[in-house]
Amino acid sequence: MEATSAAVFDLDTRERFIYEYGQFVLEWNAFELYVEALIWYVRTKRLHEGVSCLQNFREINHLSPNKKRGSLMDCLRRINERDVLAAVNKVYDVADRNQWIHGLVIPIKVKEGGEYEEDTWLLYRFNKVKNRPRFARITESDGDILFVEFHEAWKSLKSAAERSFGFLVDVADHYLVALAEEESLRRQSQSN
């Protein structure tokens, strides 16, 4: 990941995995904001719905990640943005957010050749379809690969959105500022 500092490489396997996992959770939070701002941008600039930041926030922010994904995909289909749509799907598919956020990630030592040698993690999650627990063994490199894939997929989405209709990360920052300003004006008007 780009955000990984040199000091992180001095951490032991477990500490590094926890660091990377924490980075993923933080990046997912930023990604959700990006998706919300992208929905607002497409609705106002391409679909000409005249939606304010505050109105978009009220309609979108409380939705689950899958419902936000569906809302964004609906907007992108309406303007026929196939490249951005494919990039959105890639991010969600690579992240498999529910597995990481709702699963239990448990550190274990794996017995190799009669000795407990390898630091690894056990990801435990209930499989609703098969109605039974699901376990996955995750080594340090597995975690690195997943987190890097998520980061790279999100980076590709940002590039696709910029190429297709000029949506920059700065627009997401503008969305937050505009949201705060709209809320401040709303409160002022209520107090008068």
- Going from N- to C-terminal start, the domains of the chain cover 13-98+143-191
User: For 28-43, how does the pLDDT look when each residue is reduced to its tens digit (9 = 90+)?
Assistant: 888 999 999 999 999 9
Query: Which of the four pLDDT bands, split at 50, 70 and 90, describes residue 44?
Result: very high
User: For 57-95, how does the pLDDT look when each residue is reduced to its tens digit (9 = 90+)?
Assistant: 999 999 998 899 999 999 999 999 999 999 999 998 887
pLDDT, residue 186, reads 85
* Residue 2 dihedral angles phi and psi, to the nearest 5°: -65, -30
Alpha-carbon torsion angle 17, 156, 174, 68, nearest 10: -80
pTM of the model: 0.75
